[in-house]
C-alpha cells in the first residue's frame, strides 16, 4: 500500500537552483541504496542529476572503520549540470568514520545530519577520534543536526516482527526519509520501490516503509530544521527520460548495436572491478539473443571474443587496466587477422592492482601502444554515463565497417555514475550495414585480404562454401592472405593496417569547440573529465575569460580538423586524470606547446580545481 | 548437412589439401598426422566449409595452413578458447584444435583445462613430441625428468605432465591416444574423436626427428613395440605382447603385468570399458607408463555428458520462450521513466 506524501505544513521553503547531497556510512549501512533512491526520485521530479558513488575496495571492511566508509553523492539541479558537484551542501554521516572521511567536502555552513547514537566511545576510537566532535566544538562552522536514528528507527518498526539487528538495517531509509523531507521530494517512487523489491518479505517491506515515513515525519514535526529546500525542474530537451548508469548504458548500447547490425552480441569476459556490471547486465538479457561467457581468465575472454567475431558474431570483451594488459597479445592477433571486435576498458587507478574502486584515465597510452609491433587500432572514449550508449554503437559501427578491433574507454567514475538519459527512437537510429560475402571475389578464387575503398577486408564466415581460407598471426601476403616473410610485403602490410585505421577519420565528425573560435586558451579534454571541463570553461567564460573547450571522442585516429583547431589558440591546456598522456600525444603529433593539468588521486576533477588550473594560463 | 537432393561429389583425402607448401622438417611425424586427418575427413565426407581448424603456436600449429578448410593459426596456447567461441557461435561447424605439448600443457594449460571441463563440442588433438621444436629444442612439460636439452644441459628438473591423466582429471568425456606412425589406428581414433559429442581429447605420440628423435622408439620399433604398447578395445581384456601372451591384471587397485597361461586366463585380466560412468579405471590406465608397463593406445574413455555449447544456446531459446523475444523499446521504457515537455 503506497502512502501518500504528507503535505507540507508550516515550514519555510527556500528555492535553490541546485544542491548536492552525500550519504556516507559504513559499507553495510545501505548508503548506495539510499543514494540510488534519492537519484531516481530527483530525476523523476524533473531535475537534472549527476551522481558519484564512492565505495571501498574491501567488500566488508571492519565495521566503523574509515576503510569501510561508503558514500554516494547526488548533484541535482533546476538547470543542466555535468558533474556530481565539487562540494556537498548536505552530508549525512551515519557514524564517526563517515564524518571524518567526508567532512572536508562539506561547504562551510553546510547541513550535517548525523546519527548521534553511533558516536560512542568504540566508534570514535575506530575513527581515530580522541574526543566527540558533536561535543568538542569542532563542528562549529556547520549546521549540525544530531538525530537519534537508531532509537527512532527501532521505535518506528516496532511490531513488524523484525529482530533488533534487522530493524537497525532500516536506518538508511530513515535517513533517506529525512533528506526527502528536507529537499521536498515525493516519497512515492521509493515506496513503490520498497513494495516491489521486498514483495516476498512483507515484514521487511513494512519496516522499511515505516522507517522512511518516520524519517520524513521527523523532519516535519521536530522543527529542528529552519527551512526546507526546493529544487525546481530542469529544462532538459523534451523527450522521455530515464536515469542511466555508465555500465548499464554500455550494455544497452551493445544490445542496440546488435539489433542495428543484425550481428549477434557475444560478450566474453572475466570478472573485474569496475567492469563486471556490464556482464551482470548483459547476462540478464538472454532473450535478446545475447551470449555471455564468464571465461576462465582475461586471455580466454578476449580470444573467445575473437573466435566469435571470426564466426560472424560481434565479439566483445570488457575489463579494466590489469585485464587489458593480459589481453594485449590477442588484441594484436585481431589487428593482424583484421577481425571486428570491441574491447572495453573501464579504467581504474593503477598501476598493477592499484585502486580498484577508484577512477583514473591512465590507460590511454596502454591501449594505444601496449602491444608488440606496429599495432594501431581505433580508440574511442565515453564522456559521461549516458554517452556510453552512443559510444558503444559507434565502436560497433567502426569495427564492422573497417574490420578492426576497437578499444572503448570508460572509467570507474562513468561506469558507476548516473545521469538522465533521453530514450532514443529506435527506428531513427541508423542501421549498421554488415556484409558477409558468399562468392569468390576474384574469378573462381577468394582473396581474404582483398580490400575495399576504405581498406577493409571481406568478412567471410566459416561455413560458406567455396570461400575456405586460413588466417592467423603470421604476416599476411597482401591480397591473398597467405603467410609471407617478404620484407617489402611486411612494410606494405604495416602501412595498409595503419592507413586503414587512419581512414576512420573520414567517417568520424570533426571536433567542435565550445566558446570563442580562436583566442587565448583552448581546454582539450577526453573521456570522463568532460563534465568538469565543460563546467569549468563555462564558468570562466561567464567571467569574461577568453577560453574555449574542445572534447575528443576519438583518441585514434584524431579527428581530421584537430590540428587546425589547436593552432587557433595561443595556449592548449589538457586536463587529465593521469600524468599527461593525451598531452604527450598532442605535443608529439602537433608540435604544440600544450600544458597539462594532472591529477591521480582516484577522484574526478572538481570544477574548482580546473578553474584554478586553467586560470593560470589566462 | 546439405539440403540439396543432388548427389554430392565424393571428397577424396587430397581434396582437403590446401595449395600451401608443407614446411615441416622432412621425416617429421606431423606429416603422417596430417595425412591421417585428411583421410579421416574424407571417410566422414565432411564438407570442407563446415570444418574449422584452430591452432596455437608451435610446429604442430602450422597444421591449419595445410588443409583446405577454414582455419585460424592463433597465438600461443589460446586455441581451445577461440574454438569454444566458434562452436558456441556456430554449432553447425566441426571444430578441431591442433596443439602441442608446450602449447596445450604449458602456456595454454588453463584453456585446455577449462575447455575440457566445460565439455565444449570440439576435438583437441595434441601432438606430443616431448620437446619444443619451433624454438629449436628446449625441454617441454612432457619431457622426462633429467632430459638434457639446450635449456637443461644438466638435465631437466621438472616432473613431466601426463596429458591423459590431466584430461581425465578435468572430467573429459572422450580421451584417446595414438601414435603418428600407427596410420590406421590413428585414423580410427580421429574418426572416433570426430564422432563423439563433447570435448574429444586425443594425444598423439609424435616424433620430432630433429630435436628429439626416437623419444617413442620403444613404441614404434618393429622389434619391441608389441611389448610396449597395449591396444585398448572396448569390452576386451587387456592383452599385449608379440605373442599376445601378456596381460594386465588388477591387484586391488594396482595394475600388474602377468603372463597368460600357468593358471592365468584372459578372464582374470582387467577388461576395458570405455563407457564406464566413473573415470577411475581410465585414469589407472593413463598411469601405466613405459618401461614398467605397456602404454595403452586407443580410446580410454567415451561417455555422454551435457555439452557446453548446447547449454548456452538452449538458454537463449528458453529465455526467448519465457520472456518473449527481446524488445529494445520495451526495455528502454521499463521502470522509472519520465517525460519532459516543451
Ligand atoms: S622441429 Fe621437430 S616437430 Fe618441428 S617440424 Fe621439425 S621435426 Fe617436426
pLDDT tens by residue, B232-275: 999 999 999 999 999 999 999 999 999 999 899 999 999 999 99
Rounded CA-CA distance A8/A181 in Å is 9
Q: Which CATH code for domain A242-428?
A: 3.40.50.970
Rounded CA-CA distance A231/A14 in Å is 9
The whole-number pLDDT of residue B72 equals: 98
pLDDT reading at A5 higher than 60: no
How many domains does chain B divide into? 1
pLDDT tens by residue, B44-66: 999 999 999 999 999 999 999 99
pLDDT tens by residue, A238-295: 999 999 999 999 999 999 999 999 999 999 999 999 999 999 999 999 999 999 999 9
Domain ranges of chain A: 12-231, 242-428, 513-615
Q: Which CATH code for domain A513-615?
A: 3.40.50.920
CB contact under 8 A, A329 and B75: yes
pLDDT tens by residue, B103-149: 999 999 999 999 999 999 999 999 999 999 999 999 999 999 999 99
pLDDT reading at A26 higher than 50: yes
Which residues' Cβ are closer than 6 Å to ligand 1? Answer: B 24-25, 28, 30, 59, 129, 133, 208-211
pLDDT reading at B2 higher than 70: no
Rounded CA-CA distance A460/B149 in Å is 43
**CATH T-level assignment (fold) for domain A12-231:** Pyruvate-ferredoxin Oxidoreductase; domain 3 (3.40.920)
In a domain, B3, yes or no: no
C-alpha torsion angle, residues A550, A556, A557, A561 (rounded to 10): 10
The whole-number pLDDT of residue A222 equals: 86
pLDDT tens by residue, A458-487: 999 999 999 999 999 999 999 999 999 999
pLDDT tens by residue, A478-531: 999 999 999 999 999 999 999 999 999 999 999 999 999 999 999 999 999 999
pLDDT > 70 in chain B, percent: 97
Angle at A69 between CA A63 and CA A73, to 5 degrees: 145
Let me know: does B42 contact B13? Beta carbons within 8 Å: yes
Model confidence at B7, in pLDDT bands (50, 70, 90)? low
- Rounded to an integer, the average pLDDT of B270-294 is 97
CA B231 to chain CA centroid, nearest Å: 17
In a domain, B87, yes or no: yes
Let me know: does A219 contact A178? Beta carbons within 8 Å: yes
- Rounded to an integer, the average pLDDT of A52-74 is 87
Interfacial A residues in 42-71 facing B (CB < 8 Å): 43-44, 46
CA B23 to chain CA centroid, nearest Å: 23
In a domain, B31, yes or no: yes
Residue with cell 535517513: A175
In a domain, B78, yes or no: yes
The whole-number pLDDT of residue A61 equals: 80
Structure-model confidence comparison of residues B71 and A59, the more confident one: B71
Strand partners, A541: none
Flag whether residue B254 sits within 8 Å of chain A, measured between CB atoms: no
B328 closest CB neighbour out of A239, A426, A467: A426
pLDDT reading at B296 higher than 90: yes
pLDDT reading at A454 higher than 60: yes
A482 closest CB neighbour out of B20, B319, B320: B20
The whole-number pLDDT of residue A1 equals: 35
pLDDT reading at A11 higher than 60: no
In a domain, B157, yes or no: yes
Task: With a threshold of 0.90, tell me whether the complex ipTM lies above it.
Answer: yes
Rounded CA-CA distance A6/A187 in Å is 9
Structure-model confidence comparison of residues A227 and B17, the more confident one: B17
For residue A512, give the 3-state DSSP assignment: coil
- As given in the structure block, the three cell numbers for residue A46 are 524533473
Q: Which ligand 1 atom is the nearest neighbour of the CA of B29?
A: 8
- As given in the structure block, the three cell numbers for residue B293 are 608397463
Q: How far is CA A537 from CA A46, A549, B256, in A?
A: 26, 6, 84
Model confidence at A93, in pLDDT bands (50, 70, 90)? very high
B206 Cα to chain A: minimum distance (Å): 24
Model confidence at A6, in pLDDT bands (50, 70, 90)? very low
Rounded CA-CA distance B23/A441 in Å is 28
Centre of ligand 1 to C-alpha B99, Å, is 13
Range of the domain at B128: 14-214+300-313
- Rounded to an integer, the average pLDDT of B92-100 is 98
Rounded CA-CA distance A315/B70 in Å is 18
In a domain, B161, yes or no: yes
CB atoms within 10 A of CB A599: 21
In a domain, B94, yes or no: yes
CATH number at residue B156: 3.40.50.970
Which secondary-structure segment (H or E) carries B219?
Answer: helix B217-220
Let me know: does A554 contact A439? Beta carbons within 8 Å: no
C-alpha torsion angle, residues A47, A50, A56, A62 (rounded to 10): -10
Which secondary-structure segment (H or E) carries A144?
Answer: strand A143-147
pLDDT reading at A67 higher than 80: yes
pLDDT reading at B6 higher than 90: no
A174 Cα to chain B: minimum distance (Å): 22
In a domain, B341, yes or no: no
CB-CB neighbors (< 8 A) of A471 in chain B: 71-73
Rounded CA-CA distance A178/A173 in Å is 8
Please state the three-class secondary structure of A30-79 as a single string.
Answer: CHHHHHHHHHHHHHHCCCEEEEEEECCCCCCCCCCCHHHEEEEEEEEECC
Model confidence at A152, in pLDDT bands (50, 70, 90)? very high
The whole-number pLDDT of residue A9 equals: 47
Centre of ligand 1 to C-alpha B208, Å, is 5
Amino acid at each position: 500500500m503506497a502512502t501518500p506524501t504528507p503535505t507540507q505544513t508550516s515550514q519555510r521553503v527556500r528555492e535553490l537552483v541546485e544542491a548536492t547531497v552525500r550519504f556516507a556510512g559504513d559499507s553495510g549501512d545501505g548508503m548506495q541504496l539510499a543514494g540510488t533512491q534519492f537519484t531516481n526520485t530527483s530525476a523523476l521530479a524533473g531535475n537534472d542529476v549527476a551522481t558519484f558513488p564512492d565505495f571501498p575496495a574491501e567488500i566488508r571492511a571492519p565495521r566503523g572503520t574509515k576503510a569501510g566508509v561508503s558514500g554516494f553523492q547526488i548533484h541535482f539541479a533546476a538547470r543542466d549540470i555535468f558533474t556530481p558537484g565539487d562540494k556537498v551542501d548536505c552530508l549525512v554521516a551515519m557514524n564517526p568514520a563517515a564524518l571524518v572521511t567526508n567532512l572536508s567536502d562539506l561547504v562551510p555552513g553546510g547541513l550535517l545530519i548525523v546519527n548521534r547514537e553511533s558516536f560512542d566511545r568504540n566508534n570514535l576510537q575506530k575513527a581515530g577520534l580522541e574526543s566527540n566532535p558533536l561535543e568538542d566544538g569542532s563542528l562549529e562552522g556547520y549546521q549540525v543536526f544530531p538525530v537519534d536514528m537508531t532509537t527512532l528507527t527501532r521505535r518506528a518498526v516496532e511490531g513488524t516482527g523484525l529482530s533488533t539487528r534487522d530493524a537497525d538495517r532500516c536506518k538508511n531509509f530513515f535517513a533517506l526519509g529525512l533528506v526527502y523531507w528536507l529537499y521536498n521530494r515525493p516519497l512515492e517512487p521509493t515506496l513503490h520501490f520498497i513494495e516491489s523489491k521486498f514483495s516476498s518479505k512483507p515484514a521487511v517491506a513494512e519496516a522499511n516503509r515505516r522507517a522512511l515515513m518516520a524519517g520524513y515525519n521527523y523532519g516535519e514535526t521536530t522543527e529542528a530544521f529552519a527551512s526546507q529546500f526546493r529544487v525546481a525542474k530542469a529544462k532538459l530537451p523534451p523527450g522521455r527520460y530515464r536515469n542511466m548508469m555508465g555500465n548499464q548504458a554500455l550494455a544497452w548500447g551493445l544490445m542496440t548495436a546488435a539489433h542495428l547490425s543484425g550481428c549477434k552480441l557475444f560478450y566474453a569476459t572475466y570478472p573485474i572491478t569496475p567492469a563486471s556490471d556490464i556482464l551482470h547486465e548483459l547476462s540478464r538479457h538472454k532473450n535478446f539473443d545475447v551470449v555471455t561467457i564468464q571465461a576462465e581468465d582475461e586471455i580466454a575472454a578476449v580470444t573467445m571474443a575473437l573466435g566469435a567475431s571470426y564466426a560472424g558474431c560481434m565479439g566483445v570483451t570488457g575489463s579494466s587496466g590489469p585485464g587489458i594488459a593480459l589481453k594485449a597479445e590477442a588484441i594484436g592477433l585481431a589487428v593482424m587477422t583484421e577481425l571486428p571486435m570491441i574491447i572495453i576498458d573501464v579504467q581504474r587507478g593503477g598501476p598493477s592492482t592499484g585502486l580498484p574502486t577508484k577512477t583514473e584515465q591512465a590507460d590511454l597510452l596502454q591501449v594505444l601502444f601496449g602491444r608488440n609491433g606496429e599495432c594501431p587500432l581505433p580508440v574511442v572514449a565515453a564522456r559521461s554515463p549516458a554517452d556510453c550508449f552512443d559510444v558503444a554503437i559507434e565502436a560497433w559501427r567502426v569495427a564492422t565497417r573497417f574490420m578492426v578491433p576497437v578499444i572503448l574507454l570508460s572509467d570507474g567514475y562513468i561506469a558507476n555514475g548516473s545521469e538522465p538519459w533521453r530514450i532514443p527512437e529506435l527506428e531513427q537510429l541508423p542501421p549498421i550495414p554488415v556484409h558477409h560475402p558468399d562468392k569468390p571475389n576474384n574469378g573462381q578464387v577468394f582473396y581474404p585480404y582483398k580490400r575495399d575503398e576504405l581498406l577493409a577486408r571481406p568478412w567471410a564466415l566459416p561455413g560458406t562454401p567455396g570461400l575456405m581460407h586460413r588466417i592467423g598471426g603470421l604476416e599476411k601476403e597482401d591480397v591473398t592472405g597467405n603467410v609471407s616473410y617478404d620484407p617489402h610485403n611486411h612494410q606494405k602490410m604495416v602501412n595498409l593496417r595503419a592507413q586503414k585505421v587512419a581512414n576512420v577519420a573520414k567517417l568520424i565528425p570533426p571536433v567542435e569547440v565550445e566558446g570563442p573560435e580562436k583566442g587565448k586558451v583552448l581546454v582539450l579534454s577526453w573521456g570522463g573529465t568532460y563534465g568538469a571541463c565543460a563546467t569549468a570553461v563555462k564558468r570562466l567564460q561567464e567571467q569574461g575569460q577568453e577560453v574555449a573547450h574542445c572534447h575528443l571522442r576519438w583518441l585514434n585516429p584524431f579527428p581530421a580538423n584537430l590540428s587546425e583547431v589547436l593552432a587557433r589558440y595561443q595556449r592548449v591546456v589538457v586536463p587529465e586524470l593521469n600524468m599527461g598522456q593525451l598531452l604527450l600525444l598532442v605535443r608529439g603529433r602537433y608540435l604544440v606547446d600544450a600544458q597539462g593539468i594532472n591529477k591521480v588521486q582516484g577522484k574526478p576533477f572538481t570544477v574548482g580545481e580546473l578553474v584554478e588550473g586553467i586560470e593560470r594560463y589566462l | 548437412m546439405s539440403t540439396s537432393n543432388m548427389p554430392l561429389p565424393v571428397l577424396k583425402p587430397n581434396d582437403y589439401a590446401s595449395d600451401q607448401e608443407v614446411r615441416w622438417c622432412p621425416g617429421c611425424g606431423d606429416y603422417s598426422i596430417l595425412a591421417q586427418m585428411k583421410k579421416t575427413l574424407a571417410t566422414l565426407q565432411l564438407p570442407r566449409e563446415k570444418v574449422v581448424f584452430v591452432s596455437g603456436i608451435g610446429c604442430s600449429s602450422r597444421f591449419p595452413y595445410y588443409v583446405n578448410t577454414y582455419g585460424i593459426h592463433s597465438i600461443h596456447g589460446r586455441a581451445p578458447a577461440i574454438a569454444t567461441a566458434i562452436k558456441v557461435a556456430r554449432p553447425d561447424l566441426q571444430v578441431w584444435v591442433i596443439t602441442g605439448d608446450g602449447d596445450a600443457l604449458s602456456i595454454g594449460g588453463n584453456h585446455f583445462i577449462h575447455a575440457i571441463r566445460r565439455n565444449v563440442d570440439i576435438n583437441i588433438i595434441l601432438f606430443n613430441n616431448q620437446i619444443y621444436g619451433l624454438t629449436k629444442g628446449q625441454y617441454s612439460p612432457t619431457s622426462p625428468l633429467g632430459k638434457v636439452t639446450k635449456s637443461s644441459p644438466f638435465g631437466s628438473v621438472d616432473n613431466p605432465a601426463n596429458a591423459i591423466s590431466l584430461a581425465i582429471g578435468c572430467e573429459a568425456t572422450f580421451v584417446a591416444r595414438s601414435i603418428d606412425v600407427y596410420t590406421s589406428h590413428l585414423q580410427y581414433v580421429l574418426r572416433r574423436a570426430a564422432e563423439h559429442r563433447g570435448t574429444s581429447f586425443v594425444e598423439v605420440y609424435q616424433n620430432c626427428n630433429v630435436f628429439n628423435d626416437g623419444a617413442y622408439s620403444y613404441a614404434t620399433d618393429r622389434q619391441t613395440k608389441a611389448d610396449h604398447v597395449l591396444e585398448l578395445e572396448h569390452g576386451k581384456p587387456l592383452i599385449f605382447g608379440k605373442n599376445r601372451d601378456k596381460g594386465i591384471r588388477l591387484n586391488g587397485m594396482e595394475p600388474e603385468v602377468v603372463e597368460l597361461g600357468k593358471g592365468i586366463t584372459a578372464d582374470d585380466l582387467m577388461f576395458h570399458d570405455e563407457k564406464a560412468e566413473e573415470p577411475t579405471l581410465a585414469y589407472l590406465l593413463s598411469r601405466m607408463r613405459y618401461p614398467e608397463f605397456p602404454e595403452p593406445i586407443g580410446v580410454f574413455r567415451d561417455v555422454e555428458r551435457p555439452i557446453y555449447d548446447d547449454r548456452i544456446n538452449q538458454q537463449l531459446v528458453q529465455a526467448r520462450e519465457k520472456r518473449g523475444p527481446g524488445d529494445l523499446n520495451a526495455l528502454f521504457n521499463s521502470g522509472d521513466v519520465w517525460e519532459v515537455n516543451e
